[in-house]
Structures are given as C-alpha cells and as structure tokens.
Amino acid sequence: MASSSIASIQKSFTYDVFLSFRGEDTRTNFIDHLYNALQQQGIYTYKDDEAIRKGKRISDELISSIKDSKFYIIVFSKNYASSAWCLDELVMIMGCHKTTEHTAYPIFYDVEPTEVRKQSGAVGKAFAKHENDEAAGKWKETLKEAADLAGWELKNTANGHEAKLIQKIIEEISLQLRSIDFNADEKLVGMETRVKDVVSSLEIGTDDVRVIGIKGMGGAGKTTLARAVFDQISFRFEAKSFVENVRENSNTSSSGLKLLQNQVLKDALFDQGINVSSVHDGKIMMKKKMRNKKTLLVLDDVDHIDQLEALAGNLNWFKPGSRIIITTRDEQVLVAHRVKLILNVNLLSRKEAIGLFSRYAFGGEIPIQGYEELSEQVVRYAAGLPLTMKILGSFLCGKNKSEWIDALERLKTISLKETLQILELSYNNLEEDYKEIFLNIACFLKRWSKHTAIDVLESCGFHATNGLKVLEQKSLITIVDERGSMHDHIEEMGRNIVRRLHPDKPEKHSRLWIDDEIKDILANDLGTKATRYIQFQLMGGNFEMVMKGLRKMKELRFVHISQNTRYNFAEERTYDNVSQYFPNALQYLRWYRYPFWSLPNTFQANDLVTLKMEWSNIKQLWEGGERKVLNKLKILDLSYSELTTLDLGSSPNLEVLSLRGCRDLVQLDTLNGCRKLKSIDLSNSKLKTIDLRPAVNLELLHLQDCNALVELHMPGKCLNLVSLTLTSSQLRTLHIGQTPNLEYLDLNNCYDLEDLHMADKCLKLTSLNISRSKLKTLDLGLTPNLKKLDLKECKNLVKLHVPIGCLEDLVYLDLTGCLRFTSFLFDERKDASSRRYESIKVGPLAELHLFAKSQETCPLHPDNTLRKFQFECFYKDDPTLTGNLAKLLSFGLCACTNPMTLSGSICGLRRLRKLKLEGYLEAPKDLDQVECLKELCFSMTNMKHLPDSICMMKHLEILRLKDCWSLEKLPEDLGRLKCLQSLTLSSAKIKRLPDSICMLKHLVFLELSDCFYLETLPEDLGQLKCLKTLYLSYAKIEHLPYSICMLKRLRKLTLLRCCSLKTLPKDLGKLERLAGLYLSSSIIKHLPDTICMLKHLKKLVLDDCSLLEKLPEGLDQLERLEQLDLGECKILQDIPIGSICKMKCLKWLDVAGTSISRLPRDICLLKGVCILGSRDLLQSCGFTSEIKTIHDKDTCFVDV
C-alpha cells in the first residue's frame, strides 16, 4: 500500500531523512510542504519542534536523531546562520556525512551558495553575531564544506517553483532509498539481473502507456520480482498500487473484483472514502479518475481475462507515462489482453540457488562447514525453484545432519506437499482434455521430441498441437529445441495426481510407468480396466507373461514396451491360446524388439493409429497372412524387422511408412489405397521394384542403400516432395517428375545411373549430390538457390549445363575424380547459344573440390573468393595455381603420378590456416612464409626429411605425418613449435624422436602409430605437462621412460602391440587423472601394484595379453572402473577375490578365453554389468536362464 513506510535497506536507520532548517524562515511554507510530500511517499522523516528547544546547544535527543537518519536535507535560508543551534546541528550532520552511511543535500532556499561558502550577503549578516564565539571558526569551516556539496538552488531549479523543487528532491531521495541491496535482502537472492531486465523493458522515460507481462511456473519468483521492481521505481509515479493474489481474491466472493477495484482506486487517489458499487461502476470510475495520474499498477497472479478487463481494461484509462505489470502462470491471458511484451522468469542458477537456500537454512551466503554436500543435494532436488528452496531452507534450519539425511531420503519417495499444492493450481484450471495431455507428458512423454509427442497424443485422440501450446502458455511445460520438458516438481505433481486416489493399488491407476509395479501386476494377473496407458522396460524374456497380463486391461489406449538387451536373438516364438491378446481399444502400440513373428488375429486393431515395432521378429503383419482393414492407421514403423512382404491396400489413412533396415523385404504390394502417404522410408531393403505412383502427397522419401533396386516409378506430379534420398541403387534411369518444392536430392553411389530427368524448375533446391554416377552431362535446370553441388568421381562427366545465374548462391562444389570433365556451359538467356567458360566462376563459392587432368593450369576465375580448396591432379609438371586465392584458408593437393615439388605459389598464401599435401610431393622449403598456418598434414609422401623451415612456423598447432613410409627423421629443433598441440606420426622409419620434443609445453595429443622402427622415447617425456593422450603401437621400445609418471594430466595411455615392452614403470599410479589404459596384445606379465591408485580409471583393456599371469590384489580400489577387458589372456587363472564385487561402476567384464575357472558368486549383486565368458564360468556364478550365446562364437554373456 502507498502509505506503508519504506525501510532503509543497507542499515537499519530510525529515519530516512532528517530536516535541518531555520523555523522562522521556512517552517510554515516550504518545510511543511516538503515534509508532507516526503511522508506521503512513505519516506520516514524527522522534523524537530523548535518549541522543545532549550539552551544554546543541541540536545542528546537531537544528536541521536541525526545519527539515526540516512539522509540530511539542509535548507539554507537568510537567518539559518543566526542560530547557534542550527550551526551545531550542521557540524554534527557534516561529521556524519563524512562516513559512507550518510548523505547530506543542501538546498539554497533564498540565498546563494557563495553567500553560505563565504558568509557574505544575508548569510554574513546573520553570522556576524557569532564572530566572537569560540566556535565561530569551526562553524565557518562547516558552512564552507556544506556549500560545496551537490544540492539544489531554488532560483536556478524549476524556474523557482517550490513544488517542482520538492518533486525533484523526492525523486532523488527515493532513488537512493530504492537502490536495493540484493545481497542484504534474503528474498531477493538472484533477482538483481532480473529486476534490471524488467526495469529496462519498462522504459520509464517514455510517455506511452506500457504493459508488460511476467510469466512463469508457480513458485518461480514472479511475485518477488514484481515487488522488487515496484519498490525500486514506484517513487517515479504520482499514483501506485500493488494488487496481490488477484486470482485468489477475485474468486473468494462474488464481489472479489469489485473489492480489488476499490483497492486500486484508494491506493492511487489516497482516498479511503471511495466505494465501488459494482464492477461496471468500478470500470467507469477507474477510467475517469486514473487518467489524470501517472500510475504504476502491479496485478499479481492473474489467471483470467475478466480480471484484466476489470482492473486495466484499456490503455486510455491511464495517463501517458503509466506502467502496468501483470504476473501470471498463463501466457494466453496476456495474449488475449494484447500484451505485447512478455518476459519469462528464469529459474535460479546453481550459485543463486545455493545462496537463497543458505539464507533460509543458515542465515548466511553459503552453507556452514560440514553441510556443503547435503546443501548440494537439496539444491539438486529443488532444480532452481525458489519456492522449494525457501520451504526446505526454513524446514531444515537448526536441524542436525541425521535429520537432514532423513528428510532428503523422504523426498525420494514422498513429494514436498507445500510445493505441489501451489503448482497444482495451474493444473486445476485446465480443461479436461488438456489435463489428460498434461498427465501423459508427466508420466511418459517428458523429454520426447515435440514431433513424436504430438504423434503419440494424436494417436490417442487428443488435439495435441493446441494442447501443448496451452500447457506451455500455462507454464506447465517448456518447448526448447523442439523437445518438450517440464520442471521436476511439476512432473512429480502430475504423477502424484495419478497415484493419490489409490496409492497402494497401482493396478487401479490410469497410467503405469514404474517397472517394478508393472512387473508385479503382470506376473500376478492383476490388470484392470482402469489402466489406459502403460510404459515399461522389459527385462528378461518372459514375453508370454506380458501378453497374458494385458488381457484384463481391456481399455488400454497406449502401450510402449522397450527391451534392454545388447543383442537381438531371433528365436521361434508362437502364440499359445492364452497369450493371443492385445486389447482392441489400443490406439498407440510400440513394442521395441517384439519377439513374435506376427500380430495375433484376435487383435482387431479397429482404433489403432500408430504401430511401431522396430527391430522385431515380425515376418508378416498378421498371423497366417490374414489381411485386415486398418482404417485409422496413420503411422506404421517396422524398421529393422524380419519382414519379407507387406500388403498395405487396406490402410487408406496411412501417412508414415518406415521399413528401414528390413533386409529380407523383397515385395511391397500395391499402395493404391495409400494416397495420403507423406513419408516413406524403405532404406536398406532388397526391393527390386518400387511403384510410388499413387503416393502423390509424398513429402519425404528415403531409399538409402537399396542395392537391389532397378526400377522406381515416381508420381508424375509430386508437388509436396521436399527431400529425396536414393543411394547405392542399380537404377540406370530416373524420372523425378514435377517437384516444385524439392529442397534436397541425394543420388550418391548410384553407380549405374546414366540418365537423370529433373524438372525444368527446381526453384527451392539447395543440395544436390550425384557423386559416383555414370552421367555424361548434367542439365541443372532452373536452380537459383543451389548451395551445394557434389559430383565427385563422376568419371564420365564431361559437361555441366547451367542456366545463367543458377550458381550465384553456391558455396560448395566438388568435382574430384571427374576424369573427363572439361567445361561449364552457361545459358545467358533461353534462346542464346551456350558458351564455354575456361575457368570456374561461381558466386560466393567457399569450398571447391576439383580433379584436373587435361588442363595445364588450375582453372580458377580471378573473381572467386575461395576459403577451402581440395585439388587432385595428374599433371606431369609442377601445377600452376591461377585465380584469386588471397582468402584461401584451407588447401589440399594430391599429386597422383609423377613426383613434384611445389612452387612458391603455395608459400604466398598468407592467410592459409590448413595445408594438406598428399602423394608424390616434396615439401616446399619456405613453409615458414605461410605465416598463419595452424594445421599441416603430409600423407603418403616420399619425403625422407622434413624441411627445417617447419620449425619456424610459430602458429602451427597440428602436425600430421601419416603413412610417410620414407621419413627417417624429424628436425632436431622441432621443440621450437611453441604452439603445437597435436603431433601424429604413422608408418614412418624413424628410430628416435628428437629430444627437443620435450619442450612442446602445449602438446596435448601425441600419436606414434605403426612406427615399427621406433626404439626409444626421450627420457624427459614427462616434461610435456599438458599431454592428455599418448598413443603408441607396433613400436620396438623395450621400456618407457620413468618420467612418464610425471604426466599429471594424461587421461589416455595406449600401448598397442608393443611386443618388446615387458614391464611398466612402478610408479604408474602417479598418473592421477588417467581414465583409460589400453595394453592390448602386449607381453607384460604383471601390472605394477600402484595401478590401484588410479582413482579416475574407467577403462582397463588387457585383451590378448597372452603372458599376463596375475592382477594386483588391490584392484577393488579402482572405484570408477567401468570396463575391465581380460579376453584371451590365456594363462590368467584368477581375479583377486572380492575385488570385482566392490566395483560399483563396472559395466563390462570380459574374461572369455582366459584360464579363470570361477568368479565370486556375489558378482550377481552388481547392477547393469555385462559379463562375457564361457557358459560353465557364468553358471558357476549362479546365472542360468539369463545366459545368452553370441552368434558365431563360443563365448556367452549375461546382462546383470
């Protein structure tokens, strides 16, 4: 309310303002007006009563009042200096002003600052009576100091108008008081930036009437934010009102809105006698009375348009410059009221959350010692919601650790009631069908893609697109990157609604999603008609139990079953008389890895909209090949199934068909009845002929890797087709037909394609890939938006025919391997003859891959501004590069025949960042002239030495020397590459690395693969302090340098097939950050005991270490180990007893091919681990039915 006092925030002062004045000059006019104005603004002001003054010196009471005031307003008038009392008061004030807690403002009422400063004029006359007073010198100095302060001079401020001066004083004092200390106020942690954003959006200086909405979920801090903004800016307005709990107060009685109108008018007009007789009367009064005052109005927690129409019906109700802030959970209320600016309240960051929670739990900024981890758990649970932080902080305040732990354990199963009650208000206001959509998202669809969630919900009969929008507007869900999400507490709230009617009888719940509960219901045949939606993960292979358990759930609409297994086992499964059941009411059915060969004939599927059974054993859709009419089916996905044939003639509403990966599919019967098909995916099938002529509404067509396809019939008009992918087929001819909306066309690896007929106009085509075809010529037609054209390895391609202007947007062109390509042909106009361009000029081309054989120079037009150029040539002489290469950032050259040396043209590429040289090349001697080069790669070259100039490349970060079979040594000064981060050397003849390599202080990655001649590593290798990866394979080294144990940042160490390496350094355990140790196919017999000190080790790979005899005893200390691979360690006989069972993070254990005869029986207590070994070994651990056999191997495995 406007009359409430504004407490000083940074320190608790008794008064906001102390007035110092000479009563006889100003008390009955200026001071009274100023005092009343300050009080009216809620600024608590001290004004002494001269009648109580006694003696010549100020009293202790007055001294105390001065010290207990934040601001001082000193009103200098003609007779101010005549009063010793005023002068002593001024000395006290100026003494306090010199501290940081107080501020003094002088007002020169009817005197000038210079008169006060020099005691001249009227001030001098008044002060003359004190010339002989012993305090005169101190008073003079104080008057001078006060006159030098920033303040106001009446005659030079607002043209001498006292009322305007008073307004300016009020604004300045209010502004200072409203400078909120966000760190001091426990309610405002994390609000500082948010308040600034809102204030900035209000643009208070402009004269329009502005309305902004603040939207967010319950408990997110909308009210706190609005209140903070109100407190900070309200002084700038003539009238203000903060209306709390609009939703609640307007619904408490039939007169709720009328009472709220009363509040606004009383607050704004300072008239407690106002009485609104009706809502209509209130609207008229507000329109009439509010238009004369610049108003700040906050309407908090609005949930209906009627509330806004009653309290802020129209902008013309308010005076220009007014501001209205509305907080709500429902964005649609703001949209309906034409609110243009809507701000979302972001949840607290982790740091802000810790701060807010600590204020309530500990009364400070951070958790007290010993409670840090417990506080982190609370903050993780609260997930950024301020309300939960406050509730839990207050609840846990003063409690001991055991009470904290108990409370946190309780939260894992019992939700926080106070939070859920507030959140549920948004749910209660939903219409029934939106409530159902919300519950489905909370129970099943959280984090699903928006597109998939809509498919599921529409399959179940909901208007999903509109429903999701409503839920998002009401702050119950969020859509980010086209993926739906909701706050954890809102999810809890939704699930609690489903469970609370029958908390101990899940079989009576409308939705089931907890695997253990579902397993119990299915196993005991407890299903009921109440269950309409079910989703679970199937563990093990009791499929018949599932089918039988669904019998009693006759009203099921939604079934989503997934299966957790690493392998797919095609076992013959048929129905018995009991398990032949799917509820006929099903609308959405997805069973990942469905085990049966068909759907049961007892399933009528009259209401089925979506059927998804990826990676299933289905060979034919219906048992016995029966044909059923599926009138409502829209989505059919049998990807990667065993399907051999499919008849879709009785699915008239089918829109999406996916048979991707059905490698046994050889026949697709007629699609004549499927004219509504929008998306077809037949990739990786064995179909030879595909007839799509009836599918005139196609938008997406995927036919990737259809290796047997020889005949494709497209619709003559496919007006909606956007994307066509047809790769690795045997087509010779392709007629695409009219496709005006085609954007993406991929015919990659169609090796037999000789004839392509595209539409004359493909105005939207942006990407075209016809690489590795037999096309001789290509007529692009009208393709003005083409950005990527890939024609690599079209070995028969001679000419490219392009209408003029159709390559202006091209950014990528690849002609690599086009052996016969000679020219581009451009048409300047329709009736003009084609003309040949001798060089390539294509718009803003940024990337070009070119194969050149017949030209003597690289054919680049001078106007090109290439950034990336890959050039493969068959030149007999050195290539000459022409054209504009000044902006080239990446250049690759492959010389395929004769040995070459590169001319200085390469070294002149000053901006070049990446250079790749491949084939029969010698490196340029002056590479250091390529000043900006960061990446240099030599591949399959015949160089024996690298030029010394490489060591002078001060910006080089990556150096790759791959398959350099002739390379015998590296430059001794390689250590001068101060910026080098990655060094790769493979298949070279080098025997040693230069010692200077240890000076590469920024080296992160070092690979020495297939270096069969490498005998030693530098002894000071441990000086590579930044090294994270060291990869060594097929080297002849016999030992690792001891200093390797000093590589504190090393995370991955690979020593593959280093057959001369017999031991590892004893202090290997000092590699404290090592996460992966790979020693495959080594001849090591023992591992150093210190390996057990590697606390961050996740992967230990020792497969095929044929001489490995034992493992260290303390292996259980590897607490984070996820993978232990001992496969084919033939003489290894045991694992330290107890070690494995303590590895709680273990996910993979391979003991196949070892001599290990037993494992601890407690190993079955580990969760989520896959164990590979012989059948006898696994059975000895107590595993029986869970054991699976890997195809084509004697090895078995079990998923624990």
Q: Which two tokens stand for residue 1064?
A: 């590892």
Q: Give me the residue label for tokens 């190993």.
A: 1163
- Active-site residues: which are they? 89
Question: Sheet containing 45-47: which strands, arranged edge to edge?
Answer: 45-47, 15-20, 69-76, 103-108, 152-153
Contact status, residue 216 vs residue 422, Cβ threshold 8 Å: no
Could you give the count of Cα atoms lying within 13 Å of 252 in the half-sphere of its Cβ?
A: 9
- What is the DSSP code string of 599-643? B-TT---TT--EEE-TT---SSSBGGG-----TT--EEE-TTS--
CA distances in angstroms from 430 to 11, 436, 440, 473, 950, listed in the order given? 46, 9, 14, 11, 70
End-to-end alpha carbon distance in the chain? 65
Q: Which two tokens stand for residue 42?
A: 């809620």
How far is 385 from 224, CA to CA, in rounded Å?
Answer: 13
How far is 138 from 272, CA to CA, in rounded Å?
Answer: 50
How far is 1085 from 188, CA to CA, in rounded Å?
Answer: 63
| Neighbouring residues of 160: CB distance < 8 A, sequence distance ≥ 6 | 154
60-67 and 84-97 helices, crossing angle to 10°: 30
In which element (H, E) is residue 1031 found?
strand 1029-1033
Q: What are phi and psi of 1023, to 5 degrees?
A: -80, -10
DSSP label at 347?
P
Q: Is 946 left (phi over 0), alpha (psi -120 to 50) or beta?
A: beta
In which element (H, E) is residue 409 found?
helix 401-411
Q: Hey, how many other C-beta atoms are within 10 angstroms of the C-beta on 911? A: 14
How far is 915 from 919, CA to CA, in rounded Å?
Answer: 14
Residue 825 Cα to chain centre, angstroms: 47
Q: Hey, how many other C-beta atoms are within 10 angstroms of the C-beta on 435? A: 17
Contact status, residue 1035 vs residue 1014, Cβ threshold 8 Å: yes
- What is the DSSP code string of 669-688? ---TT-TT--EEE-TT---S
Q: Which two tokens stand for residue 904?
A: 């200085």
Contact status, residue 345 vs residue 215, Cβ threshold 8 Å: yes
How far is 500 from 1182, CA to CA, in rounded Å?
Answer: 40
| Neighbouring residues of 428: CB distance < 8 A, sequence distance ≥ 6 | none
Dihedral sign for Cα 677, 681, 686, 690, please: positive
Q: What are phi and psi of 1196, to 5 degrees?
A: -115, 170
How far is 965 from 944, CA to CA, in rounded Å?
Answer: 8
How far is 604 from 600, CA to CA, in rounded Å?
Answer: 9
In which element (H, E) is residue 127 found?
helix 121-127
How far is 978 from 999, CA to CA, in rounded Å?
Answer: 8
Q: Which two tokens stand for residue 783?
A: 């393709």
Nearest to 661 by CA among 724, 610, 706: 706
Long-range pairs, 400-406, Cβ under 8 A, ≥24: 401/370, 401/371, 401/374, 404/371, 404/374, 405/374
Q: Which two tokens stand for residue 1184?
A: 């029986």
